[in-house]
């Protein structure tokens, strides 16, 4: 008989993500059961678009009860468990294929990918999600519910498909953790599973002091080499590190690497600890071990990249700290090649080499050495250059990206180009480009519209700038920008100051003018165009200064403080660089 697969889900106020989840699953399952435990938003309505089997369940702080109920409503022979903030991905082989390929298997662990705290990458670990619908297979545990399988059941880890948990804003995830914690606190506090769960929840709430004893207790009572133990070790190390208990953290790394010599993540964590203590030779040793490990088998709790780009990046960083720049460069390059979407090594490589030579040379070298493979990398680099004041180079970076790959020509790229052109002293070019965007897309976003006004300001065409500024509409920030610009243009053209409209805060307007002045004062011109471009910025800065001086005592004070801050920064830099008191 053909096996059939049914989705069983528990939902609660998941209107933001539910649709995406169900879209990702719908081709893989024959039936969907969605159990709502009390949503107050559109969740049920969305669910009904995909299935009739939408049930309400009265919530009693018991996830297992809800899950078991959801399984019972299915008629399929197999069960797939998903959550609303997850998506099923890499489904080319399909779930059905899995079943036909492994007819003796009773339960499959799929790799779950979720955000790794701090590392800008993902943690992955196997989670039991696909199993036979069998009365003996029940969930247990109010929270962190686990499927209890009989000893005879055969379980298999598979690499595809994967389940991807998308990251949610901190406020939402905070709420979830607090809710879980709430439930846990009312449970049997001696169970090792409860300690495990509490440790993890407290960790995610960044309450490391409180999390620590729970994690330790949980670890002490686990014997087996299962995924639970690995999760505990990793979180315990992270927790100890966060608390500054480096020696203990290293102790665990050393002890556990003896037990799992090929577990690259442990070597990685050890490296991170030593790096944090600035003990770079030791850190390097540990990161090298991590790189030499093969990618761990699916059963491990693995942070993606510890075997490659993450460790390579850290190796680069450690060598950079030791001032071993050629080696650092090598490692950064390897990290970039291993994962072009991880930007940290690109950023550090760029800044390091710029300190040794100059940004222009470095930019060319990066393109020539094929380090920049994707448009996203180019966009990232462009913004980096822009932030440190090299507007012309930011421009050049994007132009090079376009040269390499016509497909890179997107709205975003054009928008950035316009901005860079503006600030590298080519406001006419920027205006032209924005004009083209308007034609192609019929409208431009508020940011680009602001750039348009800025271009006119730079060109000294105050009446046109005023006109376009009045037309800016959107969120408050935009209104403040418009007011700021209008105040300046009025001063320039009529030599008087217009008052600030009632509903706009003067402090915000002052902020905007200050940020315009800041941009002008950060401009680093190309030597060829210095005499043409510099006056544009000086004039605009001068106008900004005149405006703030005359607007009000508060704005004048803000301007003076702004200059004092700049002076202080320079002085601190000088004292640091030359070791002066």
* Contact call for residue 490 and other proteins (CB under 8 A): no
Among 92, 171, 281, 578, binds other proteins (CB under 8 A): 578
123 in Cβ contact with 162 (< 8 Å): no
Query: What's the rounded Cα separation, in Å, for the pair 332 and 310?
Result: 10
- Does 574 sit near other proteins (CB under 8 A)? yes
User: Rounded to the nearest whole angstrom, what is the least distance from the CB of residue 542 to other proteins in the complex?
Assistant: 6
Among 101, 524, 529, 532, contact with other proteins (rule: CB under 8 A): 524
Binding of residue 471 to other proteins (CB under 8 A): no
Task: Report residue 271 as tokens.
Answer: 């490296």
Spatial separation of the C-alpha atoms in residues 7 and 25, rounded to whole Å:
8
Question: How many angstroms separate the CA atoms of 119 and 286, rounded?
Answer: 17
Nearer to other proteins, 292 or 358 (CB): 358
Task: Give whichever of 297 and 355 is closer to other proteins, judged by the CB atom.
Answer: 355
Would you call 89 helix, strand, or coil by DSSP? Answer: strand
Residue in the structure block whose two tokens are 């503006």: 422
In this structure, the number of other CB atoms found within 10 A of the CB of residue 268 comes to 27
In 3-state terms, what secondary structure has residue 386?
A: helix
β-pairing, 86-89 with 31-36?
Answer: unpaired
Least distance to other proteins, CB of residue 380, Å:
22
Least Cβ distance, residue 488 to other proteins (angstroms): 16
Looking at 127, 318, 545, 547, which residue binds other proteins (CB under 8 A)? Answer: 545
Q: At its nearest, how many Å lie between other proteins and the CB of residue 574?
A: 4
Residue 28, exposed/middle/buried by CB under 10 A (0-12, 13-18, 19+)? middle
406 vs 531 by CB, closer to other proteins = 531
Q: Counting contacts by CB under 8 A, is residue 351 touching other proteins?
A: no
What is the nearest approach in angstroms of other proteins to the Cβ of residue 491? 12
Q: How far is the CB of 391 from other proteins (least distance, A)?
A: 13
- Phi, psi torsion values for 516, nearest 5 degrees: -65, -45
Mask for 94-133, x = binds other proteins (CB under 8 A): ----------------------------------------
Identify the bridge partners of residue 82 per DSSP, sorted by sequence position.
9
The distance of closest approach from Cβ of residue 278 to other proteins in the complex, given in angstroms and rounded to an integer, is 18
Work out the number of other CB atoms within 10 angstroms of the CB of residue 162. Answer: 17
User: Measuring CA to CA, which residue among 296, 295, 330, 292 is closest to residue 313?
Assistant: 330
Please report how close the Cβ of residue 465 comes to other proteins at its closest, in angstroms: 21
Query: Is position 521 an interface residue for other proteins (rule: CB under 8 A)?
Result: yes
Residue 254 or 530: which CB sits closer to other proteins?
A: 530
Q: How far is CA 513 from the centre of its chain?
A: 30
* 507 is a contact residue toward other proteins (CB under 8 A): no
- Part in contact with other proteins (CB under 8 A); list of ranges 168-176, 214-222, 295-303, 520-528: 520-528
What is the CB neighbour count within 10 angstroms for residue 535? Answer: 13
Task: Fill in the DSSP letter of residue 298.
Answer: T
Residue 573 sits in the site that holds other proteins (CB under 8 A): yes
Give, as ranges, the residues between 389 and 408 that touch other proteins (CB under 8 A). Answer: 389
Q: Considering only CA atoms, which of 214, 152, 155, 206 is closest in space to residue 177?
A: 206
Q: Between 351 and 464, whose beta carbon lies closer to other proteins? A: 351
Name the one range near other proteins by CB under 8 A: 186-194, 417-425, 472-480, 542-550. Answer: 542-550
Contact 245, 214 (CB under 8 A): no
Residue 571 sits in the site that holds other proteins (CB under 8 A): yes
> Is residue 581 near other proteins by the rule CB under 8 A?
yes
Stretch that binds other proteins, among 152-160, 205-213, 488-496, 531-539 (CB under 8 A): 531-539
How long a stretch of residues is the chain? Answer: 581
Question: Which residue, 389 or 460, is less far from other proteins as judged by CB?
Answer: 389
Query: Binder to other proteins among 321, 355, 412, 471 (CB under 8 A)?
Result: 355
For other proteins, give the closer residue by CB, 401 or 551: 551
Residue environment code for 91-121, b if the CB has 16+ CB neighbours within 10 A, otherwise e: beeebbebbeeeeebbbbbbbbbbebeebeb
Please state, in angstroms and rounded to a whole number, the distance separating the CA atoms of residues 82 and 105: 20
User: Is residue 121 within 8 Å of residue 45, measured between CB atoms?
Assistant: no
Q: Least distance in Å: CB of 524 to other proteins?
A: 5
Interaction between residue 321 and other proteins (CB under 8 A)? no
Contact string (CB under 8 A) for other proteins, positions 546-565, x = contact? ---xx-xx--xx-xxx-xx-
One-character DSSP codes across 447-463? HHHHHHHHHHHHTT-HH
Q: Do residues 147 and 138 make contact, with C-beta atoms less than 8 angstroms apart?
A: yes
CB of 111 to other proteins, least distance (A): 47
Q: Which stretch in 95-103, 337-345, 391-399, 519-527 sits in contact with other proteins by CB under 8 A?
A: 519-527
Tell me how far apart the alpha carbons of residues 130 and 80 are, in angstroms, rounded to a whole number.
5
**Alpha-helical runs (H) found in 495-529:** 506-521
Q: Which of 175, 345, 525, 529 is in the footprint of other proteins by CB under 8 A? A: 525
Phi, psi of 50 (to 5 degrees): -110, -25
Using CB atoms within 10 A of its CB, is residue 156 exposed (0-12), middle (13-18) or buried (19+)?
Answer: middle
Shortest distance in whole angstroms from residue 265 CB to other proteins? 37
* Distance between first and last Cα of the chain: 83
User: Is 112 strand, coil or helix?
Assistant: strand
Selected range binding other proteins among 183-191, 219-227, 310-318, 568-576, rule: CB under 8 A: 568-576
* Binding segment toward other proteins, per CB under 8 A, in 93-101, 123-131, 191-199, 543-551: 543-551
- We find the least distance from the C-beta atom of residue 431 to other proteins, in angstroms, to be 24
Is 577 among the residues that bind other proteins (CB under 8 A)? yes
Task: List contacts with other proteins (CB under 8 A).
Answer: 355, 358, 389, 521, 524-525, 527-528, 531, 534, 537-538, 541-542, 545, 549-550, 552-553, 556-557, 559-561, 563-564, 566-567, 570-571, 573-574, 577-581
């Amino acid at each position: 008989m053909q096996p059939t697969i049914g989705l069983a889900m528990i939902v609660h106020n998941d209107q933001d993500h539910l649709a995406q989840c169900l879209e990702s699953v719908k081709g893989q399952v024959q039936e969907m059961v969605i159990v709502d435990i009390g949503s107050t938003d559109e969740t049920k309505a969305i669910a009904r678009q995909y299935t009739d089997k939408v049930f309400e369940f009265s919530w009693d702080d018991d996830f297992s009860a809800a899950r078991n109920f959801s399984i019972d409503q299915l008629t399929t022979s197999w069960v797939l468990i998903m959550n609303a903030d997850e998506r099923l991905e890499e489904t080319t082989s399909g779930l059905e294929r899995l079943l036909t390929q492994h007819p003796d298997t009773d339960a499959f662990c799929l790799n779950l990918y979720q955000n790794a705290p701090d590392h800008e990458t993902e943690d992955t670990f196997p989670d039991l999600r696909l199993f036979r619908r069998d009365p003996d297979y029940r969930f247990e545990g109010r929270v962190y519910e686990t499927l209890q399988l009989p000893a005879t059941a055969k379980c298999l880890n598979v690499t595809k498909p994967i389940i991807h948990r998308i990251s949610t804003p901190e406020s939402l995830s905070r709420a979830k953790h607090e809710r879980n914690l709430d439930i846990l606190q009312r449970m049997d506090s001696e169970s090792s599973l409860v300690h495990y769960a509490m440790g993890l929840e407290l960790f995610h709430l960044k309450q490391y002091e409180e999390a620590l004893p729970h994690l330790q207790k949980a670890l002490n009572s686990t014997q087996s080499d299962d995924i639970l133990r690995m999760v505990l070790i990793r979180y315990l190390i992270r927790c100890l590190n966060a608390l500054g208990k480096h020696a203990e953290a290293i102790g665990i790394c050393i002890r556990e690497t003896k037990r799992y010599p090929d577990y690259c993540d442990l070597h990685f964590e050890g490296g991170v600890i030593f790096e944090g203590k600035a003990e770079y030779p030791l850190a390097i040793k540990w990161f090298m071990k991590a790189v030499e490990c093969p990618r761990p088998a699916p059963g491990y709790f693995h942070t993606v990249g510890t075997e490659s780009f993450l460790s390579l990046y850290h190796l680069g960083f450690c060598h950079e700290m030791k001032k071993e720049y050629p080696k650092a460069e090598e490692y950064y390059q390897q990290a970039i090649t291993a994962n072009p979407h991880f930007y940290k090594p690109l950023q550090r490589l760029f800044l390091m080499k710029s300190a040794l030579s100059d940004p222009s040379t470095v930019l060319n070298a990066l393109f020539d050495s094929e380090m920049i493979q994707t448009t996203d990398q180019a966009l990232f680099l462009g913004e980096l250059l822009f932030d440190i004041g090299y507007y012309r180079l930011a421009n050049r970076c994007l132009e090079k990206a376009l040269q390499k790959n016509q497909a890179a020509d997107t709205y975003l790229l054009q928008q950035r180009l316009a901005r860079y052109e503006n600030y590298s002293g080519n406001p006419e070019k920027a205006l032209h480009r924005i004009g083209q965007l308007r034609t192609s897309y019929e409208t431009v976003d508020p940011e680009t519209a602001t750039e348009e006004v800025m271009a006119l300001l730079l060109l000294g065409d105050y009446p046109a700038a005023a006109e376009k500024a009045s037309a800016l509409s959107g969120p408050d920030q935009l209104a403040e920008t418009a007011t700021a610009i209008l105040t300046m243009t009025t001063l320039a053209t009529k030599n008087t100051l217009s008052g600030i409209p009632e509903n706009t805060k003067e402090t915000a307007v002052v902020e905007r003018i200050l940020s315009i002045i800041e941009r002008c004062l950060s401009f680093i011109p190309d030597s060829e165009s210095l005499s043409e471009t510099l006056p544009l910025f000086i004039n605009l800065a001068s106008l900004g200064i005149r405006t703030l001086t005359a607007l009000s005592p508060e704005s004048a004070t803000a301007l003076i403080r702004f200059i004092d801050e700049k002076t202080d920064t320079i002085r601190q830099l000088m004292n640091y660089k030359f070791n002066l008191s």
